[in-house]
Amino acid sequence: MDYSFSLVNLRRIWDIQTRKGNYLFSLFPELEESYKLYKSERDGLRAVIREGGLDQETYNRTRKKLGEIKREAEKLISEYLTATSLEIVSDMEEDIFSWCLELGSEVGGRQTYRLGEGPKFFFVDKQMQRNLQSVMPRRQNSRSQIISSLVAVIDNDMPKVVVRTDVKDFYGSIDHSIISAMIADSKLNPLSKKLIDKLLHEYSEITGSRRGLPVGVGLSSKLSELFISHVDRSLQEAEDVLYYARYVDDIVVVFSANDANPRSKEDFFNVIREKLSEIGLEANDKKEFFRELDDSNSFSSFEFLGYSISYSGRVKVKMSSRRVRRIKDRIDRSLKAWSVAEKNGANHAKRKLLIDRLKFLTGNTKLFNNKRNALVGVYFTNSHLTDFKDLQGLDKYLDYCLSRFEVPEDLRGKISKLSFEEGFQKRSFYNFSATQLRRIVGVWHEQEEN
């Protein structure tokens, strides 16, 4: 594993983030201006080729020009990344690097933090995440993988107990002495260990506490995963555990119900509490759920990772109430944004934007410029559903909102063709550019953060 901040590693970060659709040119204002000129010339040449009618010589000359433009753009990127790499390496060699950690905004009542401005902080954070990931005991399963496994374990009549909880103030409870000891015992190189110590020190200087991680800093997520990995191993190996999963701070454990050694509800919760307490963490008793499958062969629903799961002879998977509320809220915000624009005499583009937003909600799409083929949407976000009543309810809610916001008949006719249930069943697919996606989700994210 190459832990360094070399040009090769910075370029790897650049390529990965770009494939995810993240726009990194804004890190380098001068490079951004050059890239805009390159993009404009490239798009113009591509348009010429698409129009056709070129003789072979002109076509070859145009293609050659495109190649030259691309190589020039790549050269510029390499030059800026090289300069950033040299700056980082110099800071490390002279031992003058600081994360420049400072207070950010409050989000959802929680204080966030941010690193210093500039590309070097971005790339150091990303490379350190990669370094730490390389020594992690396991890679966390995705939401989809967890739900798939959980449903498979539940979907039978075997006596069992399902316990769900979360970690109380997860980030804020992480003891620096414990996480520092874990880092010291890891296979990380000395520089990576030192950089983590610096981040913890800067956080302590701001907060006056030796507990907690800075929310909003990417590296904090990896540090929290390393910290709680001890609990993961312990609970997976605990007595009578059929299945254990954790997603960030949400925990679910399925225990076998052993008639020869009956246990109370508190006994099952105590298994989790004791493991968490070993590293100074607490379970959140306000978010504890207990379900038992006994002689009745059924248990009422519990919510986990966006789904509501119950059992009565067979497993039933619905959307969680929170997910339904979020989608309804996004329908409201989309129509409200359109309504305000309509009253202000906005042009036809606002109507198209409304339709695009509702297509995004009722259909599916591929994240722009993502080579991992990441698919999102009503099906791909809810693929484990076995009960479609929530989708039918969302269709009714959309129809109700069209009346509430007095959408004109011509526009309503176009929107009425969109359906949550049909988008799920038929996996309706829509293509959006990166610019379109930013405009589509902007009205939701801006308001959800406030």
What confidence tens digit (pLDDT) does each residue in 401-421 have? 999 999 999 999 999 999 999
In the structure, what pLDDT confidence band is assigned to residue 450 with cuts at 50, 70 and 90?
very low
In the structure, what pLDDT confidence band is assigned to residue 18 with cuts at 50, 70 and 90?
confident
Decide which of 250 and 45 is more confident. 250
Q: What is the mean pLDDT of residues 177-181?
A: 96
Q: Under a CB-based contact definition with an 8 Å cutoff, are residues 250 and 232 in contact?
A: no
Select, from the ranges 28-42, 129-143, 231-245, the one with the highest average predicted confidence (pLDDT): 231-245
pLDDT of residue 347: 59
- Residue identified by tokens 């701070």 is 249
Q: What is the mean pLDDT of residues 48-59?
A: 71
Q: Under a CB-based contact definition with an 8 Å cutoff, are residues 319 and 421 in contact?
A: no
* Per-chain mean pLDDT for the chain: 89
pLDDT of residue 296: 73
pLDDT of residue 230: 87
Q: What is the mean pLDDT of residues 185-214?
A: 96
Residue 352 pLDDT exceeds 50: yes
Residue 43 pLDDT exceeds 50: yes
In the structure, what pLDDT confidence band is assigned to residue 378 with cuts at 50, 70 and 90?
very high
- Predicted confidence (pLDDT) per residue in 214-265, tens digit: 999 999 999 999 999 989 999 999 988 999 999 999 999 999 987 666 788 8
pLDDT of residue 263: 83
Residue 52, phi-psi category: left (phi > 0), alpha (psi -120 to 50), beta (remainder): left
pLDDT of residue 433: 82
- CA 394 distance to own-chain centroid: 24
Residue 371 pLDDT exceeds 50: no
Q: What is the mean pLDDT of residues 146-150?
A: 95
Q: What is the mean pLDDT of residues 437-443?
A: 87
Decide which of 326 and 372 is more confident. 326
Q: Under a CB-based contact definition with an 8 Å cutoff, are residues 299 and 155 in contact?
A: no
CA dist 398 and 392 (Å) reads: 10
Among the residue ranges 14-18, 52-56, 128-132, the one predicted with the least confidence is: 52-56
pLDDT of residue 41: 74
Report in angstroms the alpha-carbon separations of 86 from 18, 66, 79, 90, 97.
22, 30, 11, 6, 13
Residue 362 pLDDT exceeds 90: yes
Q: What is the mean pLDDT of residues 64-77?
A: 80
* DSSP symbols for 174-204: -BHHHHHHHHHHSS--HHHHHHHHHHHHHHH
Q: Is 29 exposed, middle or buried (0-12, 13-18, 19+ CB in 10 A)?
A: exposed
Decide which of 389 and 62 is more confident. 389
